[in-house]
Structure 1
Amino acid sequence: MKSHLSLALAAVLALAACSAPGTERERPSSSSSSSSSYTGPDPAAGSDYTGPRLTGLTTDDWNVTVVSDELNYPWEVRISDGTLIVTEVDGTIAMIDVDGGLERHDVRTSDPVRHDGGSGLMGLALADDFADTGTAYIYYTYADGSALANRIAQVHYDGKAWTETRSLLDGIPGHELYNGGRLAIGPDGNLYATTGWVHNEDYPQDRESLAGKILRMNLEGRPASGNPFADSYVYSYGHRNPQGLAWDSAGRLYSAEHGESAHDEINRIVPGGNYGWPLVQDDSRRAGTEAPFISSGDSTWAPSGIAFAGDDLLVAALGAQILYAANEDKDGLAPVFSSGERARAVLPYQDGVYVTSTNTSPRATTRSDTADRLLWIQPTR
């Protein structure tokens, strides 16, 4: 990441065209799966972060580099071998060298990616051996007759193209707005996915439905051993539209969730937990449901990606257009950085943090004229 220091530092709201054609990084053509013995957390958990504590910082306490301002509705960002890998909802993956060179690839999926409002190509998780095998996992929307559905699939990157190699789980109910969509490989080596309630009040409380859940499977696509409900993918339920997954240093899982008309939540996930939607939300209590770890009350965050930077839980907020960090008491979120854009994904890495912006609302009928960007921000104190 030190190569970023060669880029001119941008003012927070400045636009800089840093993207240019880059050189492809060849990878082996093997499509083998990643090893099931993987025991480290997904990079989104912030395990590679080496910078200072971030709580208490403000926007003035960061240096900002625009890595790219040529993204098209970016959703997830990962990094491997000096390349940033960004999913875009239209069904493309942008591969960006840390110095700014960008190449865009259409993902060859078994069904066309359906981008309709907030649906499309969303989550991405890289296998532990991605740099050697090109194996990764995606979450995307497709047309199932006249309805929308979501699929979790294994994909392969051969250095020139991204291709779906097999479906791990089909038929997750889809919607124009409420799809969840986050993927992450946990410390246990299993694949976790968030799914939305698809505006159906029955689904989140129905453990036979895949909607309104956090799912857990092995890398072959079967329900993971030790799941709380026999022969089920369901790890937790009663969710509205969860879009963030992250593990702390103790291996505890957290999720960020959109509430209805504010009432957003950060939840600490326990196996088999019922997080209440649509029976309760926010700090309401009901027997048999889990209370939020942190809630927004009457304020709106619209949280999306979350990640731990050391002990600091970072939350990218679309509605609030800001990057938050949980405060020291873990009873609220405090703003630490804003570029005035809808923050979608956050990736702590080495001595800084990557943040993507998605400046078109999924409810919009046309795309925003504001460029979607990938920023690299480094604390100055």
Structure 2
Amino acid sequence: MILDRYILRLWMGPFLGGLLLVLGVLLLGRALKLLETVSDSGQAWVLIGELLILTMPYFLLLTVPMAFFLSMQNTVTSLQQSSEMDALRASGVSYTRMFRSFFLVVALLWAGLTFTSMVLLPQGQLGFNNILVKVYAMKGAITFSPQRFTEGLDGVTVYVDGEDDSGLYRGVILEDARDNISVIYTAESARFEMRGDYLELRMNDGVRLEGKGADQRMLAFEHYQVTIPVSGGRWQERQSGDHVTMMTVSELWDHLQALTKPDAVAEWNRRLLLPSTVLILLFFSLPLSLTQKRSGKAGSLIVGIAVLVLVYNIQLMLHRQVSQGAYPGWSMWAAQIAMLAMGVFLWIRAEADRLPKVFSAAGEWFYLLHQASTHWFAHRWSKKNKL
């Protein structure tokens, strides 16, 4: 128990510090984006505060596994650099025994993240959208937040990648399901204008897709115009059942059983699988941190960040493919299980001191690269001072 408490103390500080730092950066970036949307309101900062609170569940699902993984890497490398790990291993203490307390930590984090994913995340999405609806209603106009799906019109979902100074949207995706037939438009650029009780969409250089499977029809266009009626020129308050990202657990499950639509399948699997990322990263943390002592912490942390990027990009890619119906839902589980199996395999190899040589070589490469760059900069600096 003394060993467990000691190792947990080593881990806790970097975990909390890293979590607060990453959350702060993400929240600041989101606040700056939201400021453009709500700046015309007299309660701009109050609205921004509410919106940031509602985005916290999503940010926690991303940042908690990251902070856990990087802080555990820091703990492992610290024990190794100080030779404490060598002494424990020489005393017959296995890696699993050293870090057994983290299995309990992972279980607690998984439970908390599952509650966040299944309950708090859809509530946050619903609240976020409804606050934006109120902001748009106060403005008397319709705008779209960049890089975010907007469901402010009945049966229509809009995504835009960005907006230039002239009000022209770039990278537009629009799904029109008003007639119970999904029609998807993609366009390089588009302009949205209110015409009384109608929203007029003028799209440029894109594709119109209608239907599914063998019955799908595609039309490429240079210019295309769509007109959508808007109730009184105003947006309506969203309900949890309006979109899969806002549905409660029971609503999403019923929707999945009734329709088995790809977006519902992808959303259900995403909510279940995202919390399990912390378990995958637990098993990767030990083998990725066991480098030669002279390599220091930098090499293992850089490799760890690369693994984080890889894991999250695989999850994101599969979620998009499943939501579009290109891949079956089980592919998301297959990828998660494969990554978990790889992590367990590497942990077992590390326990037996039989890690692949590439792991120790990677740390050595980073060490040699660091030394070479340090000497190069020192040489250039000395030459500059002589001149």
Name the one with the larger strand percent: 1
TM-score scaled by structure 1?
A: 0.26
Greater RCO (CA < 8 Å, at least 6 residues apart): 1
TM-score w.r.t. length of structure 2: 0.26
